[in-house]
Structure 1
């Protein structure tokens, strides 16, 4: 950390030694030392031969004037400090698999990182920007831990910092070889205008071993990248390979159906889109989408009477 003290100049002027010049200048009348000096005109070292009773300033004498503001923290220091930690956060909220990865660190350091990671996880949905700052504070303390870089990447993604998210997740992947980040990384490429790079990640062989929700995430990103490139028919084919008719009512099925209905609208197939907006609404108990509203709008357009 950078030193927070002011510069080394003596606050009262002159050099910090307290000397005022050559020994010959320190003499009083008659060529005798001004005070307490030895013959020969050499300064005593006490108060530098000054003719008054004021001694030279010594370390600890000077205090910051009351009207001076504290030195501002640098950007790096502010990142390291992070936002204030909520008092209810203990660090015990993080998953055991994460805390196990912190065990190789000094106890106090690990505890502080755990608190920042817990705060990031707690805030990521409602205040993603602050969550990202907590994740950066953890990263500043342990940049070589994959779990920390992963947290920073996910928080950056939630906060809309897509280039930063991509860099963090790439770093995490280099460290632990995990492929679970691929859908988010692909979506970051999309957000940065690199649809072709998103499609390359979507073709990764690792996708075959993904769970159903993870596969759905990559399908959504791939279909979105196709639409970014103006390939609406290819986007529809991508979504049609997904389990749209699944009886599962999980959010990933809701989102797949909604994306399919939305792509059908873009393709000009409004009647089919209406059907799929209704099918989406039928399983969207938590109202994750505006499928009901979209269906109502289509009905009015298709049957204005």
Structure 2
């Protein structure tokens, strides 16, 4: 799906384990031998005579280790290689989690005061230092989302690791994930934000995530949500574009065209949402096998696209060449 047809964005060791061989259980009841020396006492001599008698009677150390504890079955303890593998894996997991928590470096000039007041207000319930850190990550994400969406997404993950119960944080995380092409994560985060604050403004992006995940029917279901009727013109246009795209995904080109024709394509406004509506209509006309009509609408799109948010001019030029 072309960008123009997507919704816009306004080492420690194990404790307690004895070192060396001291205290290690013996194998099969045999005592340790170090440096080739047999450390066993001769039977019947000294203070161990009684214990040796017990051993001879099968009552004592035959089932005990050197430390007087029951010997382990199955050949004793696992080798050191197995002992250390799991701690290394755990350490790696902790390292990845810590890296996510830390997030990318935040430029010193970003203070968090760049955020809108409505966002800052939602952070006031956090401790002061924590709120400041979350604000800086969110501000950094907002600055990077267009030019480096993956890094922006990492910033929002760092904010989420600190304040996952705030809807504004989950919303930012979802929008950054969407920009980075992480559609499943974006959908999950925006659903969480919607549960928290009941907002429906995320519906166009959520619907487009469903499209990107190969579920156009779910996108159409979201497009028919009652809340869409009350959307502002820009949000309504974005949902119309997604709905038409879902129809195209299903091979329903005529239905896609009808969806777009019910939108204000002939608006005199030069707002970006009108540009995007016209572009989507031209592109759908071409996909439906109507190149002459598509050429007209690419030109009409270019005429109001002063900021060149689409490639309508280039598309028109290519189409003119192909039509001769």
- Which band: TM-score by shorter chain? 0.7 to 0.9
1:182 to 2:189 alignment = no
With 287-296 and 173-182 compared, the bigger mean Cα shift is at: 287-296
Alpha-carbon distance between aligned partners in 1 of 2:13 and 2:242, rounded to the nearest angstrom: 52
Q: Deviations for 1:86-135, whole angstroms, at most 9, x for unmatched residues?
A: 11111111111111111111111111100111111111000100100100
Q: Which residue in 2 is equivalent to 1:113? A: 134
Q: Which residue of 2 aligns with 1:237?
A: 258
Match of 1:168 among 155, 164, 189: 189
Give the corresponding residue for 2:285: 264
Listed one character per residue, the Cα deviations across residues 223-260 of structure 1 (whole Å, up to 9, x for unaligned) are 00000000000000000011000111111111110110
Q: Which runs of 5+ in 2 are unaligned?
A: 1-10, 23-90
Matched positions, count: 247
Q: Match of 1:213?
A: 234
- Residues 103 and 5 (structure 1), Cα distance of their counterparts in 2 relative to 1, 3 Å cut: farther
Structure-1 residue corresponding to 2:3:
none
How far apart, in 1, do the equivalents of 2:110 and 2:199 lie? 28
Residue among 212, 223, 227 paired with 2:244:
223
**3-state SS in 2 of match to 1:76:** helix
The separation in 2 between residues aligned to 1:261 and 1:86, in whole angstroms, is 42
TM-score, normalised relative to structure 1: 0.77
Give the one of 214, 222, 225 matched to 1:204: 225
Deviation at 1:13, TM superposition (A): 5.5
Match of 1:276 among 275, 286, 297: 297
Matches within 5 A, 1:1-305: 5-8=12-15, 74-302=95-323, 304=324
Deviation of the 1:12 alpha carbon: 7.2
Cα distance per residue 1:137-167 (max 9 Å; x no partner): 0001111111110010000000000000000
Larger RCO, structures 1/2 (Cα 8 Å, 6+ apart): 2
Distance 2:109 2:18 in 1: 44
Instruction: Give, in whole Å, the separation in 1 of the partners of 2:212 and 2:244.
Output: 14
RMSD: 1.9
Displacement after TM superposition at 1:219 (Å): 0.4
Distance (Å, rounded) in 1 between the aligned partners of 2:12 and 2:136: 29
What is the rounded CA distance, in whole Å, between the counterparts of 1:133 and 1:122 in structure 2?
A: 13
Moved more, 244-253 or 192-201: 244-253
CA change 1:97–1:261 in 2 (3 A) is: same
